[in-house]
Amino acid sequence: MSAFRILACLPFFAFAAAAPAASLSAQEQKIAVAVDAEQARTIALLQRLVEQNSGTHNPQGVEAVARLLTPEFEALGFRAQWKPLPQTGRAGHLIATHAGSGKGKRVLLIGHLDTVFEADSPFKGFRREGARAIGPGVGDDKGGDVVMLAALRAMQAAGTLRDADIEAVLTGDEEDVGSPLDLARADLINAGKRADVALDFENLAQEDGRDMGSIARRSSNTWTLTARGKSAHSSTIFSPSVGDGAVFELVRILDAFRTELPEANLTFNVGLLGGGQEATFDAGKSHLAANGKDNIVPPVAVARGDFRTLGAEQTRRVREKMQAIVARHLAQTGAVLEIEEHYPPMAPTAGSRALLAQLNAVNRDLGLAQMGELDPLKRGAGDIAFVAADVDGLIGMGVAGAGSHAPGESADLDSIPRQAKRAAILMSRLALTPR
């Protein structure tokens, strides 16, 4: 994010946040009425999306969800394109573009088509329990996708969509990004470079029943540690010729991580470990096979985990500290640490805080409570981080709910109209704001 971009947007946003209470414009009132009138249609679309399995590794299912959404965008005057990406091992992305007047802010909308529930998952179907909807991906992120469309339909009904320049990118692999990463996220990154504002339609964050605004997400990085030592009879361990063995080397490193790495906004975890005469990961590094004997000094030990940061500089610093810890080997041992950066961080910026202030101006005019700023430690990684270097944005424009990524995932259907009104009015105001 350039300093120019941040400073250029501050006067308007600051004015919006400081202005006295005002009622909705006539067009904005039409938006609110249209959202409420379309609620049954929105829920029906949500049901169709949820009933179509679209686990990340079910490419046919992901594309089927894109086919369900394509006519919804086209009916609103968007040019919708399915971008297949078999070379990344994933289905592809749905990209929909609406050309407006070219005078207002260019808005990027971000959602995703896939879920963590694969085709063989026993968690299937869609059901309602009053104002709750339950089903795979009902909140993350099919609920967000229908909020996005409900907002756009309301803008069309009120006449504010006509001049709006909007690009929507719905990725097909948010839950497990394809490889190579630069190809898997090229379309999203390029869309971010074209945009002035990004709105992420993943789940709305809530604290104590209050809706919260999100302007930051932490990174997601994985690490794999392989320690090696000399194999020998256990009676000779710690001798000058045998040394400490691979397991003690691994434990030394992990304990040093625990005591030396902690700092603000950083978390790190060990998810899998083992050691012995043999210890190997499977191809996906989600399963580990190890064998050995109690009287043999283990020659190999492995571990895998993750770490999450709030900024690129923090990522660099943590990487260097981890490598320095690994390099302090015990006697007759060695170790190699491999780090993979998957999702970059989205650090909070002045521009994103100003955008949240404008969203709170919308809340005021709708008669809704102001949204506080969510602690980034309470938000996981997500696609908006790939555009954070180029554009300010807001996270959590989708539905409220519970149990994401777990059987029983649910969405609060009453949050759909609230979120759609917020998004539609914010986008309408951005369309009137000179670039």
- pLDDT digits 0-9 by tens, 222-273: 999 999 999 999 999 999 999 999 999 999 999 999 999 999 999 999 999 9
pLDDT > 90 in the chain, percent:
92
Task: With cut-offs at 50, 70 and 90, classify the pLDDT of residue 16.
Answer: very low
Q: Can you tell me the mean pLDDT for 389-400?
A: 97
Give 284's pLDDT tier (boundaries 50, 70, 90).
Answer: confident
For the chain, the average pLDDT equals 94
**pLDDT at residue 104, as a whole number:** 97
What letters, b where the CB count within 10 A reaches 16 and e where it falls short, cover 187-216? Answer: bbeebbeebbbbbbbbbbbbeeeebbbbbb
Q: For 97-110, what is the mean pLDDT?
A: 97
| Interval 386-405 mean pLDDT | 96
Per residue in 59-80, pLDDT (tens digit) is: 999 999 999 999 999 999 999 9
Least confident of 6-15, 83-92, 115-124, 330-339: 6-15
Of 7-16, 264-273, 326-335, minimum mean pLDDT range: 7-16
CA separation, residue 97 to residues 90, 106, 423 (Å)? 22, 11, 17
Q: Tell me which of 1-10, 32-41, 256-265, 321-330 is least confident.
A: 1-10
CA distance 113 to 141: 7
Q: What is the pLDDT of residue 4?
A: 34
SS (H, E, C) the chain: CCHHHHHHHHHHHHHHHHCCCCCCCHHHHHHHHHHHHCHHHHHHHHHHHHHCCCECCCHHHHHHHHHHHHHHHHCCCCEEEEEECHHHCCCEEEEEEECCCCCECEEEEEEECCECCCCCCCCCCCEEECCEEECCCCCCCHHHHHHHHHHHHHHHHHCCCCCCEEEEEEECCCCCCCCCHHHHCHHHHHHHHHCCEEEECCCCEEECCEEEEECCECCEEEEEEEEECCCEEHHHCCCCCCCCHHHHHHHHHHHHHHHHCCCCCCEEEEEEEEEECEEEECCCCCCEEEECCCCEECCEEEEEEEEECCCHHHHHHHHHHHHHHHCCCCCCCEEEEEEEEEECCECCCHHHHHHHHHHHHHHHHHCCCCCEECCHHHCCCCHHHHHCCCCEEEECCCCCEECCCCCCCEEECCHHHHHHHHHHHHHHHHHCCEC
Radius of gyration of the chain measured on its C-alpha atoms: 24
d(CA 343, CA 222): 10
Predicted confidence band of residue 22 (pLDDT cuts 50, 70, 90): low
Going along the chain from its start, the domains and CATH numbers come out as: 3-217+346-431 (3.40.630.10), 220-343 (3.30.70.360)
pLDDT tops 90 at residue 5: no
Average the pLDDT over each of 194-203, 284-293, 330-339 and give the range with the smallest value.
Answer: 284-293
